[in-house]
């Protein structure tokens, strides 16, 4: 038995085989091929495999999610079969005398460019489909497992640390839990684990080794304990915990369909944080009342070029429609700082958290902003979309954002495209400056949402990515809680609502403080909804005090 | 050779899904089916990407030509397909 100790960043107990994440080598060389006929045969085999995979995916989708997704996979299969596309690969191979990988890559680029150059936004959007099928053929050629996990059974995924773009591509159905060498409770792996409702442990360091792959492992996301090939005593203690977890889950099931209301009748809106349309099913199965934070970054991180208006529109529309009229707060892009995207070509900064990020990028690049706002407003016709701007420090920024919104609405009016004129606009409260000018900000917008991770980072001057700040990074610090109170008072004075969409929202030890401050909405990971509901229903708002604010 | 014209009523025009279905349907026939637009652009109905590349929009009229094999029955099948899907 090997015992490891890390930091638990997402609760829960799980066991399964350990699988060490392999970062695939995706470089394609342009060296001459020794045998052109052999390369042609490799393309044909990879193509056939892609068709089989896509048809299998279509069959599975038809059973699980219905026709819409199935048709997408079937269309992709038809792309792979397209004569011109395959001819183009084979001709490139013969003319260039290159390897199969290069020929496939070039053919994919040619067809994607053809569609991207069309004057129709729908067709431009299909360039992404061509890139997707090309990637699939390439993966087959290079032996890269789809979803990054080459295992038949679900695993405990181990890694040094995972980049946001890597976590997006993982096949979530094969992951029982995460363990990483580095990372912190605010890292993307931790956030993903909490959304999925599975355990995660970070900061295991060098003791976690790649050669432990395949061994039976037990993890406890609360205590941060990891046991590889556990002995009898350890095993039985883990099994007891798993049994308790099952019972707790059954108990939480009884919370479904209940209201988020305290014993003395104070209502709280309990919403969810999501990172992609795929997370909506977790929101619905956990009975979230709405979506308080839909991070739009996934569109930018998962893409190798600026996502088109059409691609964005489809994603926002899908979520708005799936939530059936419940509020969906979509945050405009929050790139920069710890989330870097190559094609934005941002300058390297000494202090990226204090640099050109989020709304600053949008206001500097009106075209990027306009594309996203158009997609958001178009999606507003399909549900109850609310737009939220991140990293606000000044009133003029909000005014400029609103002008950009008005321009977009005027464009859509002219084009006769439907949208909702009463789409709510809100700002993130995550800088000390926004707290101090909250009264003025509140007059401009329909709601506030506090990003506690960044608010803590900027208020306490503690880097949220650093994992050695320990006791100095304290989200319960009275300064952070008093900032919340200031923002809440300003919001209520202007008659608007205020929510919390940072990790702190799910902190049950602070619920009474939030009730005393008068927070109207808590947006948490889907898996945190039912435990939060259980606690709200046992609370009495009137008796809650501000003692944690120490004033 | 059999020919007919058809005006597209699908709001997004000949998009990926019906183009894919058309390619599949055309492949199953023993005739060569060609789609042509008023501006002279044309493509074999079996070629999905070429069809999409034509950028046929809602309200545009296309000419469908069926040559070889059982032209009569195949043209009728194609016309039926356009009415149902496009």
Per-residue pLDDT tens over the stretch A389-438: 999 999 999 999 999 999 999 999 999 999 999 999 999 999 999 999 99
Cβ partners under 8 Å of residue A345, min gap 6: none
Chain B closest-CA separation from residue A75 CA (Å): 6
Determine whether the interchain pair B47/A114 forms a contact, defined as Cβ–Cβ distance below 8 Å. Answer: no
- Closest in A78, A114, A119 to B48, CB measured: A78
Say if residue A184's pLDDT is above 90. Answer: no
The two beta strands, A2-5 and A225-228, are antiparallel
Q: What is the DSSP string of A164-185?
A: HHHHHHS-GGGEEEEEESS--T
Residue A165 is predicted with a pLDDT of: 63
Determine whether the interchain pair B47/A84 forms a contact, defined as Cβ–Cβ distance below 8 Å. Answer: yes
Determine whether the interchain pair B47/A83 forms a contact, defined as Cβ–Cβ distance below 8 Å. Answer: yes
Whether CATH 1.10.540.10 fits A36-146:
no
Q: Using one digit for the tens of pLDDT, what is the confidence trace for B37-60?
A: 888 888 999 888 888 888 888 888
Residue A372 or A473, more confident: A372
Chain A CB contacts of B52 below 8 Å: 115, 123, 126
Report the C-alpha gap between A328 and A349 in whole angstroms. Answer: 33
Q: Using one digit for the tens of pLDDT, what is the confidence trace for A50-104?
A: 999 888 888 877 776 666 667 778 888 889 988 889 999 999 989 988 889 999 9
Confirm or reject contact between B41 and chain A (CB < 8 A).
no
Confirm or reject contact between B59 and chain A (CB < 8 A).
no
Residue A8 is predicted with a pLDDT of: 92
Are A159 and A181 contacting, i.e. CB atoms less than 8 angstroms apart?
A: yes
Instruction: In chain A, list all ranges with CATH 1.10.274.10.
Output: 36-146
Residue A172 is predicted with a pLDDT of: 82
Residue A189 or A493, more confident: A493
Are A530 and A458 contacting, i.e. CB atoms less than 8 angstroms apart?
A: no
Confirm or reject contact between A210 and chain B (CB < 8 A).
no
Report the C-alpha gap between A349 and A345 in whole angstroms. Answer: 12
* Chain A residues 57-96 within an 8 A CB cutoff of chain B: 71, 74-75, 78-79, 81-85
Chains A, B: CB pairs < 8 Å: 44
Determine whether the interchain pair A75/B46 forms a contact, defined as Cβ–Cβ distance below 8 Å. Answer: no
Report the C-alpha gap between A227 and A233 in whole angstroms. Answer: 11
Say if residue A374's pLDDT is above 90. Answer: yes
Say if residue A347's pLDDT is above 90. Answer: no
Determine whether the interchain pair A84/B16 forms a contact, defined as Cβ–Cβ distance below 8 Å. Answer: no
- Closest in B46, B52, B57 to A126, CB measured: B52
Which of B21, B86, B81 lies closest to A71, judged by CA? B21
Q: Which residue of A has its CA nearest to B57?
A: A120
Residue A65 is predicted with a pLDDT of: 61
- Closest in A75, A84, A123 to B17, CB measured: A75
Residue A489 is predicted with a pLDDT of: 98
Confirm or reject contact between B23 and chain A (CB < 8 A).
yes
A404-424 exposure pattern, b = at least 16 Cβ within 10 A, e = fewer? bbeebbeebeeeeeebbeebb
Residue A164 is predicted with a pLDDT of: 66
Task: Average the pLDDT over A193-205 and give the result.
Answer: 89
Residue B27 is predicted with a pLDDT of: 87
Say if residue A466's pLDDT is above 80. Answer: no
User: Which segments of A380-518 does DSSP mark as H helices, in order?
Assistant: 395-415, 432-436, 438-444, 452-460, 478-493, 511-517
Residue A482 is predicted with a pLDDT of: 97
Pick the CATH number of A269-549 from 3.30.70.2860, 3.20.20.60, 3.50.50.60, 1.10.150.20: 3.20.20.60
Confirm or reject contact between B53 and chain A (CB < 8 A).
yes
Q: What is the ipTM metric for this complex?
A: 0.85
Cβ partners under 8 Å of residue A16, min gap 6: A153, A154, A155, A156, A176, A177, A216, A217
Chain B CB contacts of A89 below 8 Å: none
Determine whether the interchain pair A120/B13 forms a contact, defined as Cβ–Cβ distance below 8 Å. Answer: yes
User: How does the average pLDDT of chain A come out, rounded?
Assistant: 90
Q: Using one digit for the tens of pLDDT, what is the confidence trace for A152-174?
A: 889 999 988 887 667 766 788 88
Chain B CB contacts of A122 below 8 Å: 12-13, 15
Query: How far separated are the first and last CA of chain B, in Å rounded?
Result: 23
- Catalytic residue list of A: 188, 501
Residue A268 is predicted with a pLDDT of: 97
Task: Average the pLDDT over A112-136 and give the result.
Answer: 82
Chain A CB contacts of B48 below 8 Å: 78-79, 81-82
Report the C-alpha gap between B20 and A71 in whole angstroms. Answer: 10
Tokens at residue A45, please? 């085999």
Report the C-alpha gap between A74 and B23 in whole angstroms. Answer: 12
* Chain A residues 90-149 within an 8 A CB cutoff of chain B: 111, 114-115, 118-120, 122-123, 126, 129
Binned at pLDDT 50, 70 and 90, residue A33 comes out as: confident
Chain B closest-CA separation from residue A143 CA (Å): 27
Say if residue A451's pLDDT is above 70. Answer: yes
pTM for the model stands at 0.69
User: Which segments of A366-428 does DSSP mark as H helices, in order?
Assistant: 366-379, 395-415
- Closest in B20, B48, B57 to A120, CB measured: B57
Cβ partners under 8 Å of residue A504, min gap 6: A452, A453, A456, A475, A480, A510
Determine whether the interchain pair A123/B15 forms a contact, defined as Cβ–Cβ distance below 8 Å. Answer: yes
- Closest in B15, B20, B55 to A78, CB measured: B20
Instruction: In chain A, list all ranges with CATH 3.20.20.60.
Output: 269-549
Chain A CB contacts of B20 below 8 Å: 74-75, 78-79
The two beta strands, A7-10 and A200-202, are antiparallel
Are A123 and B48 contacting, i.e. CB atoms less than 8 angstroms apart?
A: no
Chain A CB contacts of B50 below 8 Å: 84
Chain B CB contacts of A78 below 8 Å: 20, 23-24, 48
Q: Which of B8, B13, B28, B52 to mutate to test the interface with A (most CBs of A within 10 A)?
A: B52
Instruction: In chain A, list all ranges with CATH 3.50.30.10.
Output: 2-21+149-252
Task: Average the pLDDT over A114-134 and give the result.
Answer: 81
Range among A19-23, A313-317, B36-40 with highest mean pLDDT value: A313-317
Task: Average the pLDDT over B67-83 and give the result.
Answer: 89
Determine whether the interchain pair B49/A122 forms a contact, defined as Cβ–Cβ distance below 8 Å. Answer: no
Determine whether the interchain pair A114/B53 forms a contact, defined as Cβ–Cβ distance below 8 Å. Answer: yes
Binned at pLDDT 50, 70 and 90, residue A528 comes out as: very high
Pick the CATH number of A2-21+149-252 from 3.50.30.10, 3.40.50.300, 3.40.50.1580, 2.120.10.10: 3.50.30.10
Which of A447, A342, A477 lies closest to A386, judged by CA? A447
Chain B closest-CA separation from residue A482 CA (Å): 53
Task: Average the pLDDT over A446-471 and give the result.
Answer: 89
Chain A closest-CA separation from residue B63 CA (Å): 21
Residue A194 or A363, more confident: A363
- Catalytic residue list of B: 15
Chain A CB contacts of B26 below 8 Å: none
DSSP state of A291: E
């Amino acid at each position: 038995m090997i015992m490891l100790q890390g930091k638990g960043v997402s609760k829960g107990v799980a066991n399964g085989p350990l699988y060490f994440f392999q970062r695939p080598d995706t470089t394609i060389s342009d060296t001459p091929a020794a045998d052109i006929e052999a390369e042609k045969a490799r393309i044909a085999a990879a193509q056939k495999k892609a068709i089989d995979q896509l048809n299998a995916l279509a069959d599975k989708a038809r059973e699980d999610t219905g026709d819409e997704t199935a048709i997408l996979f079937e269309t992709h299969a038809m792309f792979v079969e397209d004569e011109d596309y395959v001819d183009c690969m084979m001709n490139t191979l013969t003319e260039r005398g290159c390897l199969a990988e290069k020929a496939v890559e070039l053919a994919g680029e040619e067809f994607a460019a053809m569609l991207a150059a069309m004057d129709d936004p729908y067709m431009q959007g299909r360039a992404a489909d061509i890139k997707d099928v090309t990637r699939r053929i390439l993966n087959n050629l290079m032996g890269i497992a789809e979803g990054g996990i080459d295992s038949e059974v679900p695993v405990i995924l181990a890694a040094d640390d995972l980049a946001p773009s890597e976590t997006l591509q993982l096949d979530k159905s094969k992951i029982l839990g995460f363990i990483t060498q580095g990372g912190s409770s605010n890292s993307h792996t931790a956030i993903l684990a909490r959304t999925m409702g599975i355990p995660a442990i970070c900061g295991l360091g060098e003791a976690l080794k790649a050669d432990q792959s395949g061994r039976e492992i037990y993890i406890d996301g609360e205590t941060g304990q990891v046991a590889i090939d556990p002995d009898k005593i350890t095993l039985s203690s883990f099994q007891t915990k798993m049994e308790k977890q099952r019972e707790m889950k059954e108990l939480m099931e009884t919370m479904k369909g209940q209201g988020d209301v305290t014993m003395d009748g104070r209502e709280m809106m309990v919403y969810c944080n999501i990172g992609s349309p795929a997370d909506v099913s977790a929101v619905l199965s956990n009975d979230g009342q709405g979506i308080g934070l839909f991070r739009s970054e996934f569109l930018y991180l998962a893409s190798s070029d600026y996502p088109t208006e059409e691609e964005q529109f489809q994603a926002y529309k899908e979520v708005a429609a799936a939530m059936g009229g419940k509020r969906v707060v979509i945050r405009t892009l929050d790139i920069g700082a710890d989330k870097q995207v190559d094609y934005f070509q941002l300058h390297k900064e000494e202090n990226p958290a204090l640099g050109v990020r989020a709304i600053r990028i949008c206001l500097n690049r009106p075209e990027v902003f306009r594309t996203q706002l158009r997609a958001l407003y178009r999606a507003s016709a399909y549900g109850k979309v609310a737009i939220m701007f991140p990293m606000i420090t000044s009133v003029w920024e909000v005014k400029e954002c609103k002008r950009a919104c008005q321009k977009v609405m005027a464009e859509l009016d002219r084009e006769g495209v439907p949208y909702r004129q009463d789409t709510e606009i809100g700002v993130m409260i995550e800088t000390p400056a926004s707290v101090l000018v909250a009264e003025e900000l509140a007059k401009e917008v329909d709601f506030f949402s506090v990003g506690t991770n960044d608010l803590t980072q900027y208020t306490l001057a503690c880097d949220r990515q650093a994992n050695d700040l320990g006791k100095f990074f304290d989200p319960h610090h009275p300064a952070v809680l008093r900032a919340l109170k200031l923002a809440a008072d300003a919001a209520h004075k202007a008659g608007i609502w205020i929510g919390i969409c940072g990790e702190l929202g799910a902190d049950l030890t602070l619920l009474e403080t939030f009730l005393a401050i008068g927070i109207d909405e808590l947006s948490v990971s889907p898996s945190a909804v039912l435990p939060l509901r259980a606690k709200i229903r046992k609370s009495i708002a009137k008796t809650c005090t501000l003692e944690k604010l120490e004033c | 050779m059999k020919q007919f014209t058809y005006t597209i009523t699908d709001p997004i025009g000949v998009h990926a899904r019906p183009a894919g279905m058309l390619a599949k349907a055309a492949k199953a026939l023993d005739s060569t089916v060609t789609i042509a637009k008023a501006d002279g652009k044309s493509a074999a109905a079996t070629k999905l990407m070429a069809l999409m590349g034509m950028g046929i929009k809602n309200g545009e009229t296309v000419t469908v030509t069926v040559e070889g094999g059982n032209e009569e029955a195949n043209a009728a099948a194609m016309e039926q397909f356009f009415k149902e899907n496009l």
